[in-house]
Structure 1
Amino acid sequence: MEEHDLLATSWTWAGPEPVRERIRAVADAGFAGIALALDDLHEVRATTGLADLRRMLDDAGVVWVQLGTLGDWWSTTSRSDQDADRGVVLEAAATLRAWQVVVRADDSVPGVSLAVMAEAWERLAVQAEGVGARLVLEPEPWSNLATVERASRFVAAGHPNGGLLLDAMHALRGGSTLASIAQGVAPSALAAVELTDGLLHTPNGMTLADESRDGRYLPGTGAWDLPGFVRTARGLGFDEPWGVEVRTPALRAMPLRDALRIAAAATRAVLDAADAHGGPPAPAMPTSAAPTSAVDFDASRPPVAPVTPLAADGIVPRRTGPASSAYRDGHD
């Protein structure tokens, strides 16, 4: 079977161990990419420094670097934490030669308008381009861009440096099927893919956000057609790296090196199954009904021309103190 580049998302490699030790564990498990969370970026910047982090990544052979996830990037009200997050992400993207900067949509009530978000998206896409990274949106079922099809339209209408992150759990729980993804996601917009497995329905007593934090099973061990999902992404022109996002209480209880090794092996088995399958992808992924589950796309709608980008802002102030990572302890 052919070799594939895998990227360990921030939850997959999170833990109490020092960053250097965790990066080495990621590389030893066979991952070629890594996603760095905001907490890790703040902590490293305030201690060893971002240049030292780049040396750690180089020594480990990490070639794909993704940063995020950044929230509230559309706000026009200056707040110290928000400004610090944006500042450290842009600084880190330049120093670490990051591939992508990931942001999330709005999950507040009543929420920000998409028009306001679109203007801020243009500005941030220009800023990310200025430091050599692509700005990538991760839609979530509980946000104002609840489906990947709707998020694809938002991205495709904006700056060409913008892209879409296709997460298997968020796509499924948002109501998408393999067919709707193939028809409703613009190939030019698709920038990143994350693989995870899950149960046929969201477990009783869990919200969608709870499941996203604690119900991400090893690829190939759940109810979803992940080989078909991979083939659908490939049909849209996506190649590599394949993000691996796994998070369950059982995996968090394991030694990090063991959890990473098992996650990489499980994901490679799914990719091998996708490689070996010569037919078309399955017509649909199982789904469970939810208030946000209606698929929102129009396959007949013509592409929207990119909006002229706005001028880039300067890098904003940064938070000075470290922020401890608590991902493997169950915090979002």
Structure 2
Amino acid sequence: MKRLGVAHLTALELPPLELARQAARAGFDAVGLRLHPAVPGGLAYPLRPASAAFGQLRQVLDGEGVVVSDIEFIALTPEVDLTDLPWMLETGALLGARSLTVSGDDPDGGRLASRFASVCELAAPLGMVVNLEFMRWRVVGNLGQALAVVEAAGQGNGGILVDALHLFRAGNTVEELARVPARWLHDVQLCDAPAKAPPEEAIIQEAREGRLPPGEGGLPLRALLQVLPAQVRLSAEVPQPGLGGGERLAQAAQRTRALLNGYSL
């Protein structure tokens, strides 16, 4: 059976320790951790290697049989401060994370590619890849723009994080995804949503609060799965504020497993 992880956004109110416990109970094999806020002032859990919480988390992960698949989130803005990056990478590497997620928020394409390359160079000795996640409302808002940055950076451990919602809300297609070189595709996040996008002013709210479990919307998820490289890591990202964290995780695991049933990826 394909291993399945869950993005921290699915139950961001749960600290890493509780997320690991609840995710294991729900049937996930891996968790992602939000170590740094996606937006200024956003919720995150700056778990440093020397902290007591770090040691406790390692014990829970070992006991529950769950691994950390990825860490997030660094927004590569013109004024980005990468002071937190070394400890984030150290934490991720010690927990076994395979990737770091960043976004592209710098309109200077050359500078953005250079900074992305620098992050990749810091992550490479730790065996981690750096995934650029595109979102419709950010500077790097679609698949083509993300691919251009990754290719310009020219780093072997660079890549693109494909979030199903962001892919289709950006106007990209499964056919376009199928043409992306497999070496750039490491991780895919799954959720569902209505086939028709909401008004522009509601796009961000939908991404943070309006996702649906796989199979409950109109996104072409089965077609997406058919074009993914065999080595891609899959996770569910289904934040639903109307449900408790444990219930949210259980539903996301059940519906995502149902989608994957019958596919050998």
Question: Which TM bucket (shorter chain)?
Answer: 0.7 to 0.9
Q: Where does the alignment leave 5 or more consecutive residues of structure 2 unmatched?
A: 37-43
The aligned residue for residue 130 of structure 1 is 125
Matched, 1:214 2:209: yes
Distance 1:23 1:64, change over 3 A: closer
Shift of residue 274, structure 1, vs aligned partner: 4.3
Matched, 1:171 2:163: no
Distance 1:204 1:135, change over 3 A: closer
The aligned residue for residue 236 of structure 2 is 244
Separation in 2, partners of 1:240, 1:66: 13
AA in 2 matched with 1:20: L
Structure (1 or 2) with the greater strand fraction: 2
Higher-RCO chain (CA-CA 8 Å, sequence separation at least 6): 1
- Find the structure with the greater CA-based Rg: 1
The aligned residue for residue 306 of structure 1 is none
Q: Where does the alignment leave 5 or more consecutive residues of structure 1 unmatched?
A: 77-81, 277-332
The aligned residue for residue 161 of structure 1 is 157
2:6 to 5, 8, 28: 8
Separation in 2, partners of 1:162, 1:204: 33
Look up the SS of the partner of 1:70 in the other structure.
Answer: strand
Matched, 1:226 2:221: yes
Matched, 1:60 2:64: yes
Separation in 1, partners of 2:130, 2:78: 13
Distance 1:74 1:34, change over 3 A: farther
Contact 1:194–1:243 at 8 Å: present in 2 too?
yes
The aligned residue for residue 40 of structure 2 is none
Contact 1:197–1:224 at 8 Å: present in 2 too?
yes
Contact 1:51–1:96 at 8 Å: present in 2 too?
no
Shift of residue 73, structure 1, vs aligned partner: 6.2
Distance 1:18 1:173, change over 3 A: closer
Matched, 1:22 2:14: no
Shift of residue 273, structure 1, vs aligned partner: 5.0
CA deviation digits over 1:287-311, x for unaligned, max 9?
xxxxxxxxxxxxxxxxxxxxxxxxx
% of aligned pairs identical? Answer: 28
Alignment map for 1:1-332 (pairs within 5 Å): 3-15=1-13, 17-39=14-36, 40-42=44-46, 48-72=52-76, 75=79, 82-106=81-105, 111-157=106-152, 158-183=154-179, 185-204=180-199, 206-233=201-228, 237-250=229-242, 254-272=243-261, 274=263
CA deviation digits over 1:110-156, x for unaligned, max 9?
x4311001111111101011222111111111222221133123213
Contact 2:15–2:45 at 8 Å: present in 1 too?
no
Contact 2:161–2:187 at 8 Å: present in 1 too?
yes
TM-score, normalised to structure 1, is: 0.71
Separation in 2, partners of 1:195, 1:19: 21
Separation in 1, partners of 2:199, 2:157: 40
The aligned residue for residue 39 of structure 2 is none
AA in 2 matched with 1:21: E
Distance 1:58 1:224, change over 3 A: same
